[in-house]
Amino acid sequence: MKSRRQPNILLTGTPGVGKTTLGKELAQRTGLTYVNIGDLAQEGDLYDGYDEVYQCPILDEDRVIDELEEKMSQGGVIVDYHGCDLFPERWFQIVFVLRTDNTQLYARLENRGYTGKKLQDNLQCEIFQTIYEEAMEAYKEELVHQLPSNSPEDMENNLEQIAQWTEKWIKDHN
């Protein structure tokens, strides 16, 4: 028997907005599989050079896509990444862009050890809603949803909302 269809969900937004925390909880609640692109790249050494300015390896996007293609075509994957226009549009049934107020984000990134240009650039990325605009360009606008991610209450609301959406999607497609 063919297994039931499940949606793929993209969680995106500036580093520190809460994608990983939400994604892991959501996977537990829905039974979907959580995939962190940063971890995937690290495990598979899916890099193509090194960024001297940001002091981090550069993602080999083509190899990341190849690595994930089969899993994505089966469905039921929650993808977590701070960018969104590298993925094929067809992969996702819904896209959530998490948003965090500046003071909160500052504290979270500082906590993470970010300083100087890296800290400032990430804060600017959030202020200029760079990832939201990237998502609106890369996916059908009606699939893209912004979610506030400032407090534990926000997190709980987001979990509840996405879990309900997922349940309905599965019901409607099986």
> Which residues contact ligand DAT (rule: CB under 6 A)?
13, 15-21, 108, 149-152, 154-155
Minimum distance, C-beta of residue 1 to ligand DAT, in the bound complex (Å): 36
Structure tokens at 23: 């994604």
Minimum distance, C-beta of residue 116 to ligand DAT, in the bound complex (Å): 18
Cβ distance 166 to 22 under 8 Å?
no
Whose Cβ is closer to ligand DAT: residue 113's or residue 152's?
152
Residue labelled with tokens 């605009």: 133
Whose Cβ is closer to ligand DAT: residue 5's or residue 118's?
118
Cβ distance 46 to 22 under 8 Å?
no
| Side chain identity at residue 72, one-letter code | M
Whose Cβ is closer to ligand DAT: residue 5's or residue 108's?
108
Count of CA atoms in the C-beta half-sphere (13 A) of 126: 25
Minimum distance, C-beta of residue 172 to ligand DAT, in the bound complex (Å): 28
In angstroms, the CA 94 to CA 36 distance is 17
Cβ distance 37 to 81 under 8 Å?
yes
Nearest residue to the partner ligand DAT, using Cβ: 18
Whose Cβ is closer to ligand DAT: residue 19's or residue 76's?
19
Minimum distance, C-beta of residue 9 to ligand DAT, in the bound complex (Å): 14
